[in-house]
Amino acid sequence: MQIFGDYHTHTTFSHGKGTVLENAHAAQEMGLKELGIADHGFGHILYGMDKRDLPKLRAEIENATAQTGVRVLLGVEANFISPNGDIDIAPADIEKFDFILVGQHRFVKARFADKFGFLLPNILGIKSKKMREKNTQAIIRAMEKYPIDAITHPKHGMAIDVLAVAKKAVETNTMIELNASKMLFSREEISQMINLGVMFLISSDAHHPEKIGCVENMLKVVKEYNIPESQVANLNKLPTFKRKKL
């Protein structure tokens, strides 16, 4: 049992420690067929990548593919920026990426009204019923609006209704990440998601080349929680992305 691709990895284009080529070499050593570079979206205040760097990033990705034989893809870990499902990648920019991951992060740029009603309560860690509803709506509406491939670390640091998100994920063909850096789900949540037909994506969320493909703990979760192999998109096979060029 192994993953064929690790699609949530960071580089020096945001706050990862390795270059694209270093990540690709690490992926090659781990025997991966594909590697996704998914640096933080443009709207992340601390670590967001610079939109102007995209052509350079694409060139480095092509070079890394040629040098290592690992197929490197250009993705992004975008941010939810409002309860209405807005993300920090404009529709016109979506086509620049091979795949889109979106996660909830605290320090992102947002419209004035959303700063106080949405971001600040999350920064402060408020897990009220109202914030739970807002966060859940943010994810659900984003899945309706954008061709999102996977939701990264749902539930991390913020309250959400896991089942409501999972239902919409199945409906919109969006994967739910099993993040090797953060185990977020209870056994019961995993089993409910299996029953709903959720497709999971295992990833390392590596911020250092050494961590690429290190997902042993999630392979253990798959085994212990009886997640069917067919419900893990990158287990013993390659996943299909909505925007992946064939």
Binding site for Zn ion (CB under 5 A): 77, 103, 205
Q: DSSP letter at 119?
A: I
- The residue among 6 and 77 lying less far from Zn ion, judged by its C-beta, is 77
Annotate 48-109 with three-state secondary structure: CCCHHHHHHHHHHHHHHHHHHCCEEEEEEEEEECCCCCCECCCHHHHCCCCEEEEECCCCEC
CB nearer to Zn ion: give 103 or 209. 103
Q: How far is the CB of 84 from Zn ion (least distance, A)?
A: 21
Residue 121's contacts (CB-CB under 8 Å, 6 or more residues apart) are 128, 131
The minimum distance between CB 155 and Zn ion, in angstroms, equals: 12
Choice between 103 and 239, CB closer to Zn ion: 103
In the bound state, the residue with its beta carbon closest to Zn ion is 103
Minimum distance from residue 77 beta carbon to Zn ion (Å):
5
**How far apart (Å, rounded) are the C-alpha atoms in residues 183 and 200?**
13
Of 61 and 246, nearer to Zn ion (C-beta) is 61
Is there a contact between 233 and 199 (Cβ–Cβ < 8 Å)? yes
Q: Which residues contact 145 (CB under 8 A, 6 or more apart)?
A: 85, 86
The smaller minimum CB distance to Zn ion, of residues 77 and 149, is found at 77
CB of 42 to Zn ion, least distance (A): 14
- CA–CA separation, 138 vs 78, rounded Å? 13
CA 20 to chain centre: 17
Query: Least distance to Zn ion from the beta carbon of 79, Å?
Result: 9
